[in-house]
Amino acid sequence: MAVIDHLVYAVSDLDASIDWFELTTGVRPAIGGSHPNRGTRNALASFGDSYLEIIGPDPRQPEPESGRPFGVVLDMEPRLVTFAVRPGRGETIESLAAAAAYSGSDPGDIVSMNRTPPGGDTLRWRLTLPPLTHDGVIPFLIDWGDTTHPADTAPSGLRLERLDGATADIATVRSVLTALALDLPVTEGDSGLTATIATPQGDLVLT
């Protein structure tokens, strides 16, 4: 039902993180753009059919009263905060949200968002914004509609080899993942995600 769409790596300084990622992997993420009224901007690198989103504060926007999404703050340690899934063949974001809700998870409301890449056309998508429970091991949902998928235009050369989760509440997490028909290895332990990414300069592990 659900397909991994992208990983979300939150940082306090986007420009410095782009430089670090290029030095570490040999692939330089491209600036995606700012998220209006969210106080963030991002950079992307493609895995082929999914991608890595590096997200950080946008210095040209004030901090929203409700805070920036994904817990992004100015003094945070870089962290793989969560991941997104999109509808598979024959599914919709509404059907995925219904499946998550039936499993006992709150998928959050479906909202519309947009951003404009430098020199590009505005991208529009819909997503859910649930509370970040279980340290992001339960994904949020996204649907790009007719917009060109970011993985098709972001810099390439990377491959997502593994995505693993750990949680103290393994029964709840497995229930949601099963409802979404998502095959994500999850073990019992301290909550969080671990991604192993193949790069031109060797494997990179993000946590």
Measured in degrees and rounded to the nearest 5, phi and psi for residue 29 equal -60, 145
Which of these ranges, 59-63, 90-94, 114-118, has the smallest mean pLDDT? 114-118
CA distance 112 to 124: 7
User: 204: number of CA atoms within 13 Å, CB side?
Assistant: 21
Task: Evaluate if residue 39 carries a pLDDT over 80.
Answer: yes
| pLDDT average, residue stretch 54-69 | 90
CA distance 76 to 13: 9
Better pLDDT: 106 or 6? 6
- Order across the sheet with 159-167: list the strands: 186-188, 159-167, 192-199, 202-206
Instruction: Please give the pLDDT value at position 38.
Output: 87
Domains recognised in the chain with CATH numbers = 2-206 (3.10.180.10)
Instruction: Please give the pLDDT value at position 117.
Output: 81
Which of these ranges, 106-110, 156-160, 198-202, has the smallest mean pLDDT? 106-110
Report pLDDT digits (tens) over 100-145: 999 988 898 999 988 888 877 888 999 998 877 788 999 999 999 9
Average pLDDT, the chain: 93
Q: Using alpha carbons, select from 69, 46, 67, 60 the residue that is nearest to residue 149.
A: 46
Task: Evaluate if residue 70 carries a pLDDT over 90.
Answer: no
